[in-house]
């Protein structure tokens, strides 16, 4: 399965894209959501960072406020 992720800053609680870091990974189809998040965070050097808020959608996970910073990490899979 192909995973695409974007890590960016926020402004007023919304994604700002003043800067952005993107990664694209191939992961096993049977990998759990937690496993996907761990692999993406490792690829971005964010291991150990906890999110203040997590939003789950059908094919997207959004992690807000990683490490107490004004940031958001969007993780997408499926037809993206």
What confidence tens digit (pLDDT) does each residue in 13-62 have?
A: 999 999 999 999 999 999 999 999 999 999 999 999 999 999 999 899 99
Cα–chain center distance at 63: 6
Q: Rounded CA gap, 68 and 51, in Å?
A: 7
35 alpha carbon, distance to own chain's centre: 12
The domain spans of the chain are 2-77
Dist. CA 1–CA 35, nearest whole Å: 13
**Using one digit for the tens of pLDDT, what is the confidence trace for 48-70?**
999 999 999 989 999 999 999 99
């Amino acid at each position: 399965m192909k995973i695409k992720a974007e890590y960016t800053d926020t402004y007023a609680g919304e994604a700002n894209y003043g800067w952005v870091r993107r990664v694209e990974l191939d992961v096993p189809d049977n990998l759990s959501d937690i496993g996907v998040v761990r692999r993406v965070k490792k690829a971005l050097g964010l291991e150990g960072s906890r999110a203040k808020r997590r939003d789950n959608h059908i094919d997207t996970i959004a992690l807000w406020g990683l490490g107490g910073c004004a940031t958001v990490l969007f993780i997408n899979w499926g037809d993206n």
